[in-house]
Structures are given as C-alpha cells and as structure tokens.
Amino acid sequence: MSSDFFRAFFMIYIHIPFCKQKCSYCNFHFSTSLNFKDEMLAAMKKEIFLRKDELQNKNLQSLYFGGGTPSILSVDEINSLIDETLKHFSFDKDIEITLEANPDDLDKSFLKGLSSSYINRLSIGTQSFFEEDLKLMNRAHNASEAEGSIKRAQDFGFENLSIDLIYGSPTSNLEIWKQNLKKTIALEVPHISSYALTVEPKTALENWISKGKVANPKEEEQNEEFYYLSDFLKDHGFDHYEVSNFAKPGFYSRHNSSYWKYKEYLGIGPSAHSYNGHDTRSWNVANNQQYIKKLNSNIVAKETEILSLEDQFNEMIMIGLRTIWGVDLESLNHKFSDKILDTFQNDIKSKVSNDILVVENNHLKIPEKHWFMADGIASDLFIV
C-alpha cells in the first residue's frame, strides 16, 4: 500500500475547455473553437486570484491540468497558468504536476518545452493501440502516434506516465484487448486508468447506436475484459488500487487520491468543481462565454451546494467502496447519527453474509471479484 494515500493533499485542478475535435463517447464540457482562448486564459488567471483564499493550506501537493485537452495549449501558455498559481500558492518540494495530453500533441518540440517546465507527470489519452477502436472513438491520433508519443515522452525524461485505455468497444474483443495490455506492459507505463466504453446521453456514439450504425457494447464482454485487465496487470506488478486505476508502487495518482480521501480541492475553469473537505461543493458555469464575461467583472460564475449528512454519507460510501482501502467504519461512527448508522448496518447484513461486502480491520470493502459492479453495490447502501 502506498504511503501517499495517507498524506494530507491540497490540490488545484485547472480545466482547459478546448479540444481539436469531439470524441464520439465524450460528454465533458469543451469547445472545438479556439477563438476566445486568450480571453479564457486571462479569465482563469483572474479566477485563481479571486479564489486564492479558499484553500486552507497554501502549500500544494498536486496541480492537475485536465479537460478538454490541456496539451492543445502551448508550453508558454501552460507555464503562464503555473506562474499565476505560484503567485498565490507554494509548491511542495515533491509536488505532482500533471498535464493531460493527447498523443498527437506530444511531438518533440512540445515535449522538449515541457521537459523544462514544472510539468512532471503526463496523463496520455491513448485509449487504444488499434486503428479501428480509435476511428470509432473519433480520436485525433492514430495507432502509430499512440505508441510513439509514449516513447517520445520517456525519451524526454518523463518517467511518471499514466495512460487511459478503454475496453468493451464494439470494434474490439478479448484478443485485441490482450494485445493492448501486452503493448502497455512492453512500453513500461507505471500507471493505467482503464474504463469500459460507456454510452453517454447526447453523444455521437449514442446516436450511432440508436440508428443501428454501431453495435451496443456488451456488458458480459466488458465484465470479462475488466477481470482480465485486473489479473494481467497484477501479474505484472501493478496494484489495483481503485476500480479503474492501476499503478506500480510509488506511482499512485495524487490527484485522484485527494478525491478518494475527501480532501479539499479548488477547481479552476468552466465546469470545474471544488470541495471544502467538509460539507460544501461548488461548480463553475459550464459555458465559456458566461465564464469569461463574469470574470471580466471580477465575479466567479459558480453555484454552491451545502451537502446534507445523507449526501456526505452517500459520497463516503460510493468513493470508499471503489478503492482497496474501503470505507473507514470508525469515521462513519464518529460523523453520522445513530439513525443513519442503524439503517446502514441493516443494509449491509445480507451483503456481508453473501460475501458481496467484507469487513477487514474495521474497513468495509467490496471483494475484488465484485468490483465490476461496485457502483451498483454502493448505491444499494445510499440513504435516500
């Protein structure tokens, strides 16, 4: 178990709302137009300044550029956002600064610039090493770029790499999935985030499936590929530390860990979310023009929600049961009322007796053999 999991993380997430093109499965907030990129970057810097006092601790352990596609920015533009952050926060001596990047953006010139910047971790949106998968997903890169980008990043000194892989595509099968994983191992990538292809509302993929142009992903095939993924990576020295995340020791994602430990974090950019570590969440408007307009008037366009005890309980259950550490029962007992706890104890009885849930060292966990259904198991325990 990584000792990083137990550290107190303080994190900023910066959402870059631009992409070259829209992936068929994606429903995140972004724009394919770069017409207002300069105005957006100025607005984001303004938001960092206006919200500089929202984090209790000014010493950051993680800075994460997500999106969208952060690698669509130039190195100078990325550095300018980092410089603005450094005006108001300090960086821990071993801070993890991650840039999400598309393979087609990681050419030698860009990587050379990044290697001289504060960026010390890349999360590469590989998704697959097979052409048919990439075409279905409408990715901007091809199979050759998927592999070449990883090798180039390593050549420029980036050892802390993560790649995304998608399984369960109708253009794939178990044999292709095995080849994807063998390629990943051969490339010596130390962190992998892997997700089943999901059909989200109002996406091109949903439209294609509804018109019969593409087959609907099959849950039984995704289930088989998920467990093959887990067994294969564990056999090659990875820890399966969260349902969708695998890492070699020492390479657990600090960005993700701050979510899983319910730590406070600040989200910058349109649609970005923030959390105070206790009972308050906020999220920025998911509209680029509104975001820029408000910040031009020194106003952060965000909504805030005070989480009820029931909401806090449900989040702790959902997040905890997706990790190898599970849910700390002592924390639940200290935080929640007897009414909530009595309902919880009653709800888990049958699942514990049927080995769907287990209690180990005062932590409630889902045995890994049931992890593919983790979200459904957790939702059965929600207080409504």
Task: Give the DSSP H or E segment for 97.
Answer: strand 90-101
Q: Which amino acid is at 266?
A: L
Match 């669509």 to its residue by tokens. Answer: 72
What is the predicted pLDDT for the residue at 184?
A: 97
Which CATH class name applies to 3-259? alpha beta
CB atoms closer than 10 angstroms to residue 345: 11
* Predicted local confidence at residue 5, as pLDDT: 44
CATH architecture of 308-384: Orthogonal Bundle (1.10)
Name the 3-class secondary structure at 279.
coil
Closest CA to 270 of 57, 17, 7, 13: 17
User: Using DSSP, how many helices (H) and how many strands (E) does the chain show?
Assistant: 14, 15
Rg (CA), the chain: 21
Amino acid identity, position 240: H
Give the distance from CA 336 to its chain's centroid.
Answer: 28
Domain ranges of the chain: 3-259, 308-384
Instruction: Tell me the pairing of strands 273-275 and 245-247.
Output: unpaired
DSSP state of 102: -
- HSE on the CB side for 27, CA within 13 Å? 11
Cβ proximity of 25 and 200 under 8 Å = yes
Question: Is residue 322 within 8 Å of residue 374, measured between CB atoms?
Answer: yes
User: Which residues, at least 6 apart from 29, have a Cβ–Cβ distance to it below 8 Å?
Assistant: 15, 17, 68, 270, 271, 286
pTM of this prediction? 0.94
Q: What is the pLDDT along the chain (384 residues), one digit of tens a residue?
A: 444 444 556 899 999 999 999 999 998 888 889 999 999 999 999 999 999 999 888 899 999 999 999 999 999 999 999 999 999 999 999 999 999 999 999 999 999 999 999 999 999 999 999 999 999 999 999 999 999 999 999 999 999 999 999 999 999 999 999 999 999 999 999 999 999 999 999 999 999 999 999 999 999 999 999 999 999 999 999 999 999 999 999 999 998 888 888 889 999 999 999 999 889 999 999 999 999 999 999 999 999 999 999 999 999 999 999 999 999 999 999 999 999 999 999 999 999 999 999 999 999 999 999 999 999 999 999 998
Q: What are the beta bridge partners of residue 302?
A: 284
